[in-house]
Chain A
Amino acid sequence: MRGSEIVASITVRGLTKRYGNLTAVNNISFTVEAGEIFGMLGPNGAGKTTTVEILVGLRVADAGEIKVLGFNPTTEGRQLKSSIGVQLQMPALFPRLTVEEALKLNASFYPDPFPVEQVLEWVGLRELRRVLTYKLSGGQRQRLVVGMAMISNSQILFLDEPTTGLDPQARHNLWEIIQELQQMGKTIFLTTHYMEEAQHLCDRVAIIDHGSIIVLGTPQQLIGDHFQEKAIELSAVESDDETILQQLPGVTRVQKVDSQITLYSTEVEATLRELIQLEKEQQLTVAGLAIRQASLEDVFLKLTGRSIRP
């Protein structure tokens, strides 16, 4: 890893992992450049965790060529592990160590860790430093395990759903820290099922479903490639004939998930005018309406026909 030269931190080619009959990860390939925040976005069970666990050497792939910092995680796990920090999905800790002791223990495993104080500050656990880990709330535990990965001060940070269980405030704080780490030159590989997170935080996103990468690119690319339209969200729609929505002016797509209908329209004004007309004529009733830019969520919906929300 020399200077500012852009080097691939992770290269994956044809990675496949099966559990019995189930193919958890199906022939995926991607590259993560040094210094980028790379996100793997997908619903639960899409294969994100399996991918992370293979990349950090906890599982063995059935097929594929994987290099992390030039190491093969399966055969060179020992060398690799001192250069990566890993946060796994289940917050697993010695129950009766304090927050500070847990961080110190993890720090002692790595050649050049961050100071404990710094990490306590980052994850907002300063006041809780003397609390035993089993007494922490879910969100506090989550912050601690993320901190335990960060303290490694390693070249690549693997974060498997780092913000799950965090309140919005804590989530935004963590995003800032992750960006700060990026500015320090770290590479971050994270998984998430939060659209906003991928959109806000990641330089590039791979959308994964049923073990396959559907699309890969910057969030802007992905949205721009699939939508020139804006999204009109309608809730609690009641109508005898929902196909009339398809005929509204400017509407290119109609997406229905439960009672929520999303119209993608190139001419929002015209669409709305006609929609209000329909309501006046009592052909349908709508309880709620919102207009927004298309997002990664819409991309996922378009590509899979399903909502990503678990």
Chain B
Amino acid sequence: MKIFINLVVATLKDLARDRMAIFWFILFPILFIFLFGMIFSGGAGNVNFDLGIVVEEQGIFAETFIASLKQSEVFTIYQGSLDAELEALAGRRRNAVLALPQVQLGPQFSSGDQPSEVIVPVYYDASSQANKVPLFMLGEIFNHVERGIQNRPRIFAIDARPVQSEALSDIDYLLPGILAMALMQLGLFGSLRLVYLRERKVLKSLGATPLPRVQIVFSEIVIRLLMAAIQTSLIILIGHFVFDVQIVGSWWQVLATVLFGAFVFVSIGYMLVTFAKTEESGNGIIQVVQFPMMFLSGIFFQLEFLPPFLAPVVKAIPLTYLGDLLRSVLIGMPYAFGLATDLLVLGGWLIISLILTIRFWRWE
């Protein structure tokens, strides 16, 4: 164990002194987030959302609710029938339409029984960058209203119903994508180091020492995971404090997801370079794989945007699922494929690539 720690420290030093590696692993994703952040975040401070409200039954609750919404400077409130408001949404005169259901302010709230949730459908146009923001804000307002009525959490839940899905391109959507990209690149390109060490006979030289060779690989993986954690922290902190991206997942959920994702791509990276004799050829293989993966996985735009014949390709790409997983864990977007599917696909890639790597890896 002491030998292993020595090895990890030595490898860390060796890596940290490589400015190119630091650029790729740390600065590149940060540049990405600043670039996208500048382009897509816009001036979030003076945004105004046009909100349509459909009231199914007038009453004290609807009046109170609308009144509290009107106090918010962010929303401009319109009222009308569901059909009229949805038409306005389609015509882009509304950012979202909220259908306020009939609410019984009666025994349901005052009794000690568990109240059933009141579902509030919110329709929004997912094509415009800013439209998810009011969803979060509405959620907050409901919480607020709810607590005003009774000191009890979770009575309302927003049921987001997108009526249109084009390229969703705002910084909230992009941040998990950038993180997914960073993890993929970290894993794939990081594998080249082992090829370099093999090509330069460092692995062979170490093979003549009492150090077990698998420890070299383990130390590489440990360092890759450590770097993933650092990268993630940087990206999330910048996203949060500079571009005001709200992270909904707890830190351990985020960490677990990130480490899992990094591990998947580290092992895919090793699988890809198993047959590469030189660092250059390994680099070529990885470029060929990572470039289409980046643009066909939907980490930067929504999948529906791609021509349908690409769908099987998209669904085969592991990065698609990591993006989906991270979007859900980080910013609370609903899963496109489902948590189980994401984990199964990524886990499948992990296991297959590990098996192939162990089977075909050559130490020299």
Contacts and interface: CB of A to CB of B under 8 A. Distances in A.
Interface of A: 56-58, 78, 81-82, 86, 88, 90, 92-97, 101, 104-106, 108-110, 132, 145, 152
- Would you list the 4 A-B pairs with minimal beta carbon distance, nearest first? A92-B201, A86-B208, A96-B17, A92-B205
Contacts, number: 64
B3 A109 contact: yes
Contact of A78 (B15, B18, B210): B210
B77 to A, nearest CB: 61
B71 interface: no
A95 B14 CA distance: 7
Contact of A93 (B6, B202, B212): B202
Interface residues of B, number: 23
Contacts of A94: 10-11, 14, 197, 202
B17 A105 contact: no
Contacts of A132: 17
A81 B211 CA distance: 9
A80 B306 CA distance: 59
Contact residues of B: prevailing secondary structure: helix
Contacts of A108: 2-3, 6
B13 A110 contact: no
Contacts of B201: 88, 90, 92
Contacts of B18: 95-96
A58 B209 CA distance: 10
6 contacts: A88-B205, A94-B10, A94-B202, A95-B18, A97-B10, A132-B17
B93 to A, nearest CB: 60
A92 B202 contact: yes
Given A81-B208, A94-B10, 18 more contacts: A57-B208, A78-B210, A86-B208, A86-B209, A88-B204, A88-B205, A90-B204, A92-B204, A93-B205, A95-B18, A96-B17, A96-B18, A97-B10, A97-B14, A101-B10, A104-B6, A106-B209, A110-B210
Nearest to B7: A105
Interface string B1-26: 01100110011011101100000000
Contacts of A109: 3, 209-211
A98 to B, nearest CB: 9
A152 B204 CA distance: 17
A57 B208 CA distance: 7
Nearest to B198: A92
A144 to B, nearest CB: 11
Contacts of B200: 90, 92, 95
**Most chain B C-beta atoms within 10 Å of own C-beta, residue among A56, A96, A101:** A96
